[in-house]
């Protein structure tokens, strides 16, 4: 089953990477699906593709160095970013991301790019966000107080045994099916101590879904 899922992820990653052209600054995500993007991008770089990449985590940066993908710091606009997702809402392509722990940097890159492409296998597609937990990155100071504020919004946070590249904690929060993701996003941003949350709303331009029959490309239908 894992081999089949990885084959679908690889298919989606290869589809998205075809949209990378020489001269581009490319944002690169983190996580298991992003690994397939890095491998395909490395192959194209060895074949002559000229790009610079902005990684969203120290792990991705290290992997790029291993694969000889040229790196750059984020200093302006990114032409194209490719990343995975934990949940993709079919209709509007809103996302939940961050279960790999890099959500703050991933969202900075997502907001800085001209085109934001997501690669997933079909298990990530949902009718409504909230099938799983929403990761929330919080500063360590007073994090217990931040937990209580999230609980007041109806969330059930659990602190992950993990420290982000930014030195913060991750709270994995169960909200159940999220009726209004934009409202929840605003409420979370209003809590002091929340550095960022894993609701990626109105950002994805395309979602490349690897299926047994090929790649399905979804675009927002709002």
Residues in CB range of 73: below 8 A, 6 or more apart: 54
Q: Which residues pair with 26 in a beta bridge?
A: 53, 80
Examine the residue annotation and report whether 106 is marked as an active-site residue of this protein.
yes
Residue 1 pLDDT > 70, yes or no? no
Alpha helices per DSSP H over 29-102: 32-46, 58-67
Catalytic residue among 14, 87, 89, 106: 106
Residues in the chain: 222
Q: Which residues pair with 113 in a beta bridge?
A: 78
Cα end-to-end distance, the chain, whole Å: 33
**Could you count the other beta carbons within 10 Å of the beta carbon of residue 151?**
12
Mean pLDDT of the chain: 96
For CA atoms 131, 137, 141, 146, give the dihedral sign: negative
Please tell me the pTM assigned to this model.
0.96
- What pLDDT is recorded for position 221? 78
Say what percent of the chain tops pLDDT 90. Answer: 96
Rg (CA), the chain: 17
Whole-angstrom distance, CA of residue 135 vs CA of residue 154:
14
- What pLDDT is recorded for position 153? 98
pLDDT digits (tens, 9 = 90+) for 176-199: 999 999 999 999 999 999 999 999
pLDDT digits (tens, 9 = 90+) for 60-104: 999 999 999 999 999 999 999 999 999 999 999 999 999 999 999
Q: Is residue 2 very low, low, confident or very high in pLDDT (cuts 50, 70, 90)?
A: confident
pLDDT digits (tens, 9 = 90+) for 104-144: 999 999 999 999 999 999 999 999 999 999 999 999 999 99
What domains does the chain contain, in order, with CATH numbers?
2-126+201-211 (3.40.50.1360), 134-196 (3.30.70.260)
CA dihedral 220, 209, 121, 171 (to 10 degrees): -30
Whole-angstrom distance, CA of residue 35 vs CA of residue 26:
15
For CA atoms 93, 96, 101, 107, give the dihedral sign: positive
- Contact by Cβ (8 Å): 98, 138: no
- Contact by Cβ (8 Å): 78, 25: yes
pLDDT digits (tens, 9 = 90+) for 26-61: 999 998 899 999 999 999 999 999 999 999 999 999
For the chain, how are helix, strand and coil distributed in percent, rounded to 5? 35, 30, 35
């Amino acid at each position: 089953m894992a081999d089949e899922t990885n084959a679908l992820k690889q298919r989606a990653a290869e589809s998205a990477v075809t949209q990378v052209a020489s001269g581009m600054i490319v944002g690169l995500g983190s996580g298991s699906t992003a690994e397939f993007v890095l491998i395909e991008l490395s192959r194209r770089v060895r074949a002559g593709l000229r790009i610079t990449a902005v990684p969203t985590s120290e792990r991705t940066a290290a992997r790029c160095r291993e694969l000889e993908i040229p790196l750059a710091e984020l200093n302006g606009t990114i032409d194209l970013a490719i990343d995975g997702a934990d949940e993709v809402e079919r209709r509007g392509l809103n996302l939940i991301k961050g279960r790999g722990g890099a959500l703050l940097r991933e969202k900075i890159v997502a907001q800085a790019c001209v085109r934001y492409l997501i690669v997933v296998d079909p298990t990530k597609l949902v009718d409504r966000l909230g099938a799983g937990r929403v990761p929330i990155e919080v500063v360590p100071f007073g994090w217990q107080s931040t937990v209580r504020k999230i609980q007041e919004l109806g969330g059930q946070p659990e602190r992950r045994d993990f420290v982000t590249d930014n030195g913060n904690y991750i709270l994995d929060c169960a909200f159940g099916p999220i009726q209004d993701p934009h409202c929840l996003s605003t409420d979370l941003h209003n809590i002091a101590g929340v550095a960022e949350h894993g609701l990626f709303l109105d950002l994805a331009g395309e979602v490349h879904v690897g299926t047994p029959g090929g790649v399905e490309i979804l675009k927002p239908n709002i």
